[in-house]
């Protein structure tokens, strides 16, 4: 892990930081009282900040000591697997390097595409299986913003093979199995952060991950 202080990793100008601080202050004021812990609220407020949608105050759920487990995994440099490259592109590479976290996305790999076609399944499912085969899933972090089938495959591996990620950020968006997949993971022992219902996506998944990086680094406001 780098010794660089958290503020050096923010890569923001003073004006940019002031605008972001003002935005978070507005979110805090307009959101009003809530039952989230300080660390949980760091996640929720960043999701609201990314979407201007205050419904996430109620639909963002945490389970099985998610924040502690996820932050600890980040601090020890656990691998992070994401379901689509859009999430990888949105992540702050400097902050990931600070913690020694490597990000992986397998959905477009040639072998994943070929195996998905052979098995008549989705690339997202096959990508989860590849992550598991490489030892990245058990004890690692998995972030899903688009593919409910990936979340369901993680649940299956947990129930059938005892696989236990340190944290799953399950925020797939959509109409087919998006809501249902989140309910499934909430019924397991997997540490999870989910947005109940149909809403989700890469943008809020990135926001949640950046919040976790802030928690892991003690950079809370």
Residue 212 has pLDDT above 70, yes or no: yes
Query: What gap in Å lies between CA 6 and CA 184, rounded to an integer?
Result: 35
Residue 207 CB burial class (10 angstroms; 0-12, 13-18, ≥19): buried
In 72-151, which ranges are E strands? 80-82, 103-104, 141-144
Domains in the chain, start-ordered, CATH in brackets? 58-216 (3.40.50.10230)
Does the structure show a pLDDT above 70 at 204? yes
DSSP assignment of 43-60, as one string? HHHHHHHHH--TTHHHHE
Nearest residue to 101 (alpha-carbon basis) of 82, 85, 125, 86: 82
Please give the average per-residue pLDDT across 25-48, as a whole number: 93
Q: Confidence band (pLDDT; 50, 70, 90) for 221?
A: low
* Reported pTM: 0.90
Question: Which tens digit of pLDDT belongs to each residue from 1-20?
Answer: 444 434 444 556 787 777 78
Query: What is the share, in percent, of the chain residues with pLDDT greater than 90?
Result: 85
Which position has the higher pLDDT, 210 or 19?
210
Average pLDDT over residues 123-128: 98
Q: What is the pLDDT of residue 218?
A: 82
The mean per-residue pLDDT over the stretch 199-209 comes to 97
pLDDT at 14: 80
Please state the rounded mean pLDDT for residues 130-150: 97
Q: What is the pLDDT of residue 11?
A: 59
**Enzyme catalytic residues:** 49
- Contact by Cβ (8 Å): 130, 156: no
Q: What is the mean pLDDT of residues 111-119?
A: 97
156: three-class secondary structure by DSSP: helix
pLDDT reading at 81 higher than 60: yes
Helix, strand, or coil (residue 194): strand
Q: Does the pLDDT at position 220 exceed 80?
A: no
Dist CA 160 CA 218 (whole Å): 36
Q: Give 107's DSSP letter.
A: T
Q: Output the pLDDT for position 7.
A: 45
- DSSP 8-state class, residue 106: -
């Amino acid at each position: 892990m780098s010794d660089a202080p958290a503020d050096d990793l923010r890569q923001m100008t003073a004006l940019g930081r002031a605008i972001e601080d003002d935005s978070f202050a507005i979110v805090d004021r307009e959101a009003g009282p809530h039952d989230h812990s300080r660390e949980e609220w760091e996640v929720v407020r960043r999701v609201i900040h990314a979407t201007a949608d205050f419904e996430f105050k109620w639909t963002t759920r945490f389970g099985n000591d998610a924040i502690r487990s996820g932050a600890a995994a980040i601090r020890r440099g656990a691998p992070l697997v994401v379901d689509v490259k859009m999430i990888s592109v949105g992540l702050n590479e400097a902050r990931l390097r600070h913690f020694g976290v490597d990000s992986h996305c397998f959905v477009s790999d040639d072998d994943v595409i070929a195996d998905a076609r052979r098995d008549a399944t989705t690339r997202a499912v096959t990508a989860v299986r590849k992550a598991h085969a490489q030892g990245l899933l058990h004890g690692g972090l998995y972030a899903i913003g688009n593919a409910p089938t990936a979340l369901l495959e993680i649940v299956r591996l947990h129930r059938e093979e005892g696989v236990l990620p340190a944290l799953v950020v399950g925020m797939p968006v959509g109409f087919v199995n998006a809501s249902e997949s989140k309910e499934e993971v909430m019924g397991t022992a997997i540490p999870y952060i989910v947005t109940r219902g149909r809403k989700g996506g890469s943008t809020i998944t990135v926001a949640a991950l950046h919040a976790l990086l802030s928690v892991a680094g003690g950079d809370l406001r």
